[in-house]
Structure 1
Amino acid sequence: MSLMLEQLEPKSIWENFEALNAIPRASKKEERVIQFMIDFGLKLNLETQKDAVGNVIIRKPASVGMEKHKTVVLQSHLDMVHQKNNDTVFDFDSEGISMWIDGDWVRAEGTTLGADNGIGVAAIMGLLAASHISHPALEALFTIDEETGMTGAMGLQGGVLTGDILLNLDTEQDDEIDIGCAGGIDITAKLTYTPEPIKGQAVGYKLAVKGLHGGHSGMEIHKGLGNANKLLNRVLYRLMPYDIYLVEIDGGGLRNAIPRESWATLAILPQYEAAALSVIEDEVQAIKNELSTTEDGLDITCLSFELEKAKALPGLLRDQLIKAVYAAPNGVYRMSADFEGLVETSNNIARVVVRNGELVIKCLTRSSVESSKTDLANALKCCFELMGANVSFSGDYPGWTPKADSEILKVFQISYEELFQEQPSVVACHAGLECGILGKNYPAMDMISFGPTILGAHSPQERVSIRSVQKFWTLLTHVLQNIPLKTK
């Protein structure tokens, strides 16, 4: 382990986390990390298997004296979100994550850290390798592709697992115990167009939005953070009276990350140039004033550059696109009437691309209520169809319905209060956890989710609290020593 992390406790988690972060593990590119986990299990002489879709299952017998207790499934996902700052030179396909300590936080150098869900994976690895921790029989389930479709959880067949209890280690506040989560659906709008030549002596400009915090489009959707795609589009809307040429747009990235950056290439005719630039300046100032509390690093620029034989969106489609993105719901759509402070339904306009005759808009809609999720998805579908786009739905996954009388919940509450002399918050979250999907094939399994405090997930601001990891490990090991007896 590096000198930087070797001082941290518990050593087993940080050692495993560093080894895991040395391996590129983007969603849908998990081949290397899958083999890493298989090798890890086999090296420990534990029963290890890979299922048909690539999930890895490692089984460890109960400690002496714990054989009559219920079998526990420990579950985390292997993939991580790959995001970096524009000025960071980094190849996610070949480089490992570079980490550093900032007070109580472990961070990455200009990229996502992978604590989501790497700390959970590292903790499970620590338990599998430990000889001094008392525990019941364990089934470690390492799923793939959680971040871009949850296809690992969806592909896990019934009957593979034998556990009675599932502990999902993918929650990001150490004082919370999750007993429910939102489902989600991907909305994609596409159309093709024939670019038109720019007439006259139009001046080229690059309009860019950057410096936003970004973050998890479920866990942080309620924080009033700026969405770079919406902010860019807001400025473009103010420019509509000046008949601008819209050449190109490239905004956002992954569906589950609030967009931090977005830019557009446009051209302005000389007679409108001064007025258009004045409008941009006014709108930028208004946006900065509105977001001064939540987005102190926001930077919106409009710089001239030399256009070379550029072609643009047809004028009618330009107007339809700008109006559609402006009208499309983004952020919190409805708060829950049943759980105070819980976002029920939301949407993230995650990606907007206009380039070389193709237009694509990608959204992720989440809700803990299936009918509300469908309603918002249909609203977005109508919005984008009005501009002539073909709209498709994909990646639909269910939410996880809370079970207030959960036996493992009671164990957690008792353990938490004994260890920390306070009560945990029992919550449902707006993120997409795999529990709801896994529960379809394992309906009798008692499930709960918890984890250490991770902030800024899905963005280069991602960081994990060192003290929180210690707290998380203490709680996890204590709970495993207090798992209920088998009923049969």
Structure 2
Amino acid sequence: MSNSVTSLAPKAIWKNFAALNAVPRPSKKEERVIAFMMQFGNALGLETLKDDIGNIVIRKPATRGMEDRKMVTLQSHLDMVHQKNADTVFDFDAQGIAMEVAGDWVRAKGTTLGADNGLGVATIMALLESSDVPHPPLEALFTIDEETGMTGAFGLAPNWLKGDILLNLDTEEDDEIDIGCAGGVDVTAKRTYNQKEASHGDVGCRIEVSGLQGGHSGMDIHKGLGNANKIMNRLLFAGLSHNMRISRLEGGSLRNAIPRESVCELNVHRKDEAAFREGLESMAKVVQIELAQREPNLRISLKPIKPAKKVMGLGAQGKLIRALYGAHNGVYAMSASMPNLVETSNNLARVQVKNGKIKISCLTRSSQETGKMDLANGLRSVFELAGCEVEFSGSYPGWQPNPDSQIVKLATKVYQDLFKEMPRVVACHAGLECGILGQHYPDMDMVSFGPTILGAHSPDERVGIASVQKFWNFLRAILLEVPKR
């Protein structure tokens, strides 16, 4: 636990965030953080429940004089994205996050911070244990596995919650009030290939793409950031004419993180080595010039290694590289109804080629269900032409904006009165659990907001210190104005 972090204001939030970050909480491995939250609620003497899937609800009665107000459900997710720099030694399954204060920001040391969505969780914890914050009846919902499938939200029972209003604390700009979000679907392509004996006299090469910013595949997809898988494939395409044979390819990690690194090991005929190296270095310069403004730290290296004994066959290799070239990555369509909102996009998130198996993982998002499936079917077509079997999974709905909702109007007025300016009322391209929760509870009035978090889903993740105080003031002011039942 960092003393410098726990001394920040508001202390109630930072104390709980530090305690939460001491608990390993990867998606689909939330057992320890579930136990942590159960102990937290029970220690306060509050009604604390866990459902069969691992979601937790903690209920707290209203403070005196607010018993007749509508019940508010405060919602955040317990899991976090695990990403680290290549030179950082860290075990996410065993270690707590090491935090530091860097100017006006809090960040982690070489890893993701977990502010997404740990700051929301810590803020709800601060309200549950508070004795001096006026509030209506509260119901805290902590969901699991938001980052890799929204399993908790999907598995939530339709009769478990009692709240009239839901405040989702999982957005990343403190001047925004979110009223809608994109849906998504995982697109996975797989195939096998025959490994061939490498030619005698081959030389081995290792290509590395690194130093990219990465980021959130929804919130950052419009920034034109480099995708390590697409960059690597462009380099490999340039080398197709030089008797190049792939032995291993590994790029990216999580579907919801823009890939920052990719490594390819391959063999080249000795007589073609010079031409291959020249062509690769030429393409590397082209890519670095194109991305110089957005990705100033991009590194592309070519190193000699021991040649592999087995490599891909030329047919499978050619189909793979051409399919990856043809697969769309980035913004596909912009919204016609909301200015500057990405409507549909795809993240070519992970490419794995090894030991006769290929696996390609994408996350396709859209605020239009038809748009989501249109792009997903386009990807399916490209990968099937390369001989892959394609599976759609983990589909979740978007959250359709309702600018006339009572809680949206209340939050907008409270923000204006408190900060003397209008908030930006927006929809986001990220996936929020509100769309799924709205299917379970169609009559629940919903809105989403949060502190400013930059670089989410990457080791550059950081949260603004002053923004957390602003967020805390805004939330408390909303709770004061919750209407009567």
Matched, 1:449 2:461: no
In the other structure, the counterpart of 1:166 is: 166
Q: CA deviation at 1:202?
A: 1.1
Give CA-to-partner distance per residue, 1:332-377, whole Å, 9 cap, x none. 0000111110000000010000001111000000000000000000
Kept in 1: contact 2:248–2:264 (CA 8 A): yes
CA distance in 1: counterparts of 2:195 and 2:96, whole angstroms: 41
Q: Which residue in 1 is equivalent to 2:189?
A: 189
Deviation at 1:61, TM superposition (A): 0.4
2:331 touches 2:342 (CA, 8 Å); kept in 1? yes
Worse overlay, 297-306 or 423-432: 297-306
1:310 deviates by: 2.2
TM-score norm. by structure 1 comes to 0.99
Q: Which amino acid aligns with 2:412?
A: Q
| Distance (Å, rounded) in 2 between the aligned partners of 1:242 and 1:268 | 7
Q: Secondary structure at the match of 1:45?
A: coil
- Structure 1 counterpart SS, 2:117: helix
Q: Which residue number corresponds to residue 108 of structure 1?
A: 108
Structure 1 residues 2 and 211 mapped into 2: Cα distance closer, same or farther (>3 Å)? Answer: closer
State the match for 1:301 in structure 2: 301
Q: Shift of the alpha carbon at 1:146? A: 0.0
Q: Do residues 58 (structure 1) and 43 (structure 2) align?
A: no
Matched residue of 1:222: which SS?
Answer: helix
* Cα drift, residue 404 of structure 1: 1.1
Q: Note the alpha carbon deviations across 1:384-443, whole angstroms, 9 max, x for none.
A: 001111100100000000001010111111111111110000000000000000000100
Aligned mates of 1:484, 1:241 — CA distance in 2? 69
2:409 corresponds in structure 1 to 410
Aligned 1:284-323 pairs, distance under 5 A = 284-307=284-307, 309-323=308-322
Q: Is the 8 A contact 2:252 2:258 kept in 1?
A: yes
The aligned amino acid for 1:482 is E
Tell me the residue number matched to 1:229. Answer: 229
Write the distance in 2 (CA, Å) between the matches of 1:141 and 1:108: 26
Structure 2: distance between partners of 1:2 and 1:452: 20
SS in 2 for 1:295: coil
Match of residue 96 from structure 1: 96
Counterpart residue number, 2:12 = 12
1:267 equivalent in structure 2? 267
Residue by residue over 1:190-210, the C-alpha shift from the partner in whole angstroms, topping out at 9 and shown as x without a partner, is: 111221111131110000100
CA deviation string 1:242-275 (max 9, x = no partner): 1201111000000000000001001111221111
The RMSD of aligned alpha carbons is: 0.7
- The answer to whether structure 1 residue 37 and structure 2 residue 37 are counterparts is yes
Residue 64 of structure 1: how far off its partner (Å): 0.5
Partner of 1:4, secondary structure, is: helix
In the alignment, the residues of structure 2 paired with residue 410 and residue 320 of structure 1 have an alpha-carbon distance, to the nearest angstrom, of: 53
Q: Take 1:289 and 1:245, find their aligned partners in 2: how far apart are those partners? A: 27
* Paired residue secondary structure (2:463): strand
Pairwise mapping of residues 366-377 of structure 1 onto structure 2 (< 5 A)? 366-377=365-376
Q: In structure 2, what is the equivalent of residue 428 of structure 1?
A: 427
Q: What SS does the corresponding residue of 1:451 show, helix, strand or coil?
A: coil
Q: Is the 8 A contact 2:9 2:469 kept in 1?
A: yes
Equivalence map 1:75-474=2 (5 Å): 75-307=75-307, 309-474=308-473
1:481 aligns with 2:467: no
- How far does the alpha carbon of each residue in 1:430-460 deviate from its partner, in whole angstroms, 9 at most, with x for none? 0000000000010000000000000000000
Q: Following the alignment from structure 1 to structure 2, what is the Cα–Cα distance between the partners of residues 316 and 357?
A: 13
Q: Which amino acid aligns with 2:266?
A: L
Q: Deviations over 1:166-194 (max 9, x none)?
A: 00000000000000000000000111122
Structure 2 distance, partners of 1:3, 1:45, is: 28
SS of residue in 1 equivalent to 2:378: helix
Distance 1:275 1:412 in 2: 62
The residue identity in structure 2 corresponding to 1:180 is G
Asked if 1 retains the 8 angstrom alpha-carbon contact of 2:146 and 2:152, the reply is: yes
**8 Å Cα contact 2:415/2:422 also seen in 1:** yes
- Measure, in 1, the Cα distance between the counterparts of 2:359 and 2:7: 47
Q: CA deviation at 1:3?
A: 2.3
Cα drift, residue 48 of structure 1: 0.4
Q: Work out the CA distance in 1 between the residues paired with 2:370 and 2:2.
A: 50
CA distance in 2, matches of 1:461, 1:59: 35
Q: How far apart in 2 are the matches of 1:229 and 1:126? A: 41
Structure 2 residues not aligned, in runs of 5+ = none
Residue identity matched to 1:414: K
The alpha carbon displacement at 1:281 in A equals: 1.0
How far apart, in 2, do the equivalents of 1:7 and 1:89 lie? Answer: 27
Q: CA deviation at 1:27?
A: 0.3
CA distance in 1: counterparts of 2:20 and 2:257, whole angstroms: 22
Partner amino acid, structure 2, of 1:272: D
Deviations 1:59-110 (A, max 9, x none): 0001111011110000000000011111100011110000000001000010
Consecutive aligned runs of 4 or more in structure 1 exceeding 2 Å deviation: none
Write the distance in 1 (CA, Å) between the matches of 2:61 and 2:436.
Answer: 26
Q: Specify the code of the residue in structure 1 equivalent to 2:45.
A: N
Cα deviations by residue, 1:9-33 (Å, 9 ceiling, x for unpaired)? 0001000000000000000000000
Query: How many residues end up aligned between the 2 structures?
Result: 485
Give 1:481 deviation, angstroms: 0.6
Output one character per residue of 1:30-67: Cα deviation in whole Å (capped at 9) or x when no partner. Answer: 00000100000000000000011100000000111101
Percentage identity across aligned positions?
Answer: 60
Distance (Å, rounded) in 2 between the aligned partners of 1:270 and 1:34: 56
Which amino acid in structure 1 is aligned with residue 425 of structure 2?
V
